[in-house]
Amino acid sequence: MNLGFFREILSRNEEIKVIGKYAEVDGVICNVMGILRDVEGMRLLILLYDEIYRQKVEESELAQLSEYPSRPETNRMMLSRDRIDVNNPFKSVSKVFIGEREFKINGTHYRRLNVQDWEPLLIIAKFLNNGWQPNGIDYQNIDMLFLTSLKIEGEYDSIPELNHNPELWFVTGPSHAVHQVEKPVTLVVGDNPEKLVFQDAETGTEHWVQINRVYLTDIWDDMDKIFSNPKLLEQMTPEQINRARLDFEKKFSEVCPKGMYLPVIEYECEEDISLEFYTKSFLDAKPSNTSSSIGFIYRPDQPTGILGLKLKAAVIQEPVPKDTNIIEAELFQYIETTDSRDFILK
């Protein structure tokens, strides 16, 4: 950090238009600062404060301080910590109406503020100097605030004229939320028509899952079928196919060595949720230093299950031997999909 950094940011050719809307959406304090136009394009900037997020962070930090001697981190701890995130009502905005003007949004980015990260702080300072008045966040710690940036589609030579004190109408798409469960389950390979009831670890809300079957899949055999398909030659040259195969073999060997299999659970549940399973041994193990970025998604052969509902599949991405019959696992999380909705800031 040096004075040249500050000079470069302060000298940028930026245009600012303060909007100054305040509202509480889903328990989150939202301050719409206004529009910023610079070399990167035009963005609508919103400052967020989530009290529930602050409480979770403080509880997590206190729990870590109370651990003495400190325990080695496990995959369970890492996955649980990663789920602590701010509730951002603007993360799936597809377009916004500012007064009578419609703007399409082609990207959303948000970052937690930090006193060592001066760039967003200087942008906020510029809005303050241009008359923006924050509401409900004056005395909150800087590192508990999030700056959300909605990238407005199109090229603009200047910020369009807007009505005084315009109404803001946000149109959003479907969004996803991760909920912790951590319910131990014993999975038996084969047809396994078992119905389980589980709870959201935070709210206690009950849900259910009807397991249809558990089977082991050979991802290497699946890969061979893909690369042996003659139709692939219609899209790629033999050299490209060979390079792709070698690349996949390298990644596969990190996830599931040859001769090992990945468990797949086929299940039915409520329409708007999907499930994630992990083995207990994986959750209690220390995180690996070499983690592959590859993931696997399987679709059931049948569209519906024994209850007549849509059949879904979850892959436990930890290899097991071919002769495995019983898997001690956990229904660790469920992902809830919520429908699109609109909200208005007046």
pLDDT, tens digit (0-9, with 9 covering 90-100), for 215-240: 999 988 888 888 888 888 888 888 88
Percentage above 90 pLDDT, the chain:
48
Q: What is the pLDDT of residue 69?
A: 47
- Considering the chain, what is the average pLDDT of its residues? 87
Quickly tell me which residue has 């500012």 as its tokens.
Answer: 98
pLDDT at 292 over 60: no
Q: Identify residue 172 by its one-letter amino acid code.
A: T
Residue among 204, 191, 206 at smallest CA distance from 267 = 191
Query: Domains of the chain: which residue ranges?
Result: 3-173, 177-218+259-338
Assigned token pair, 69: 């001697």
The answer to whether the beta carbons of residues 322 and 261 sit under 8 Å apart is yes
In tens, the pLDDT along 276-286 reads: 999 999 999 88
Question: Dihedrals φ, ψ of 182, to 5°?
Answer: 60, 50
Neighbours of 112 (CB within 10 A): 17
E strands, the chain, in order:
15-25, 28-38, 41-50, 93-98, 101-112, 145-152, 168-172, 175-188, 190-199, 206-217, 260-269, 273-279, 312-315, 320-321, 326-338, 342-345
- Say if residue 262 is exposed, middle or buried (CB neighbours under 10 Å; 0-12, 13-18, 19+): buried
DSSP secondary structure of 215-272: EEE-HHHHHHHHHT-GGGGGTS-HHHHHHHHHHHHHHHHHHS-TTEEEEEEEEEE-TT
pLDDT value at residue 8: 67
User: Of the segments 23-27, 80-84, 180-184, 193-197, which one has the largest average pLDDT value?
Assistant: 180-184
Q: Please report the pLDDT score of residue 37 as a whole number.
A: 92
**Residue 213: helix, strand or coil by DSSP?**
strand
pLDDT tens digits for range 93-144:
999 999 989 999 998 998 999 888 888 898 999 999 999 999 999 889 898 9
How far is it, in rounded angstroms, from Cα 178 to Cα 333?
7
Centroid of chain to Cα 155: 29
Average pLDDT over residues 21-30: 91
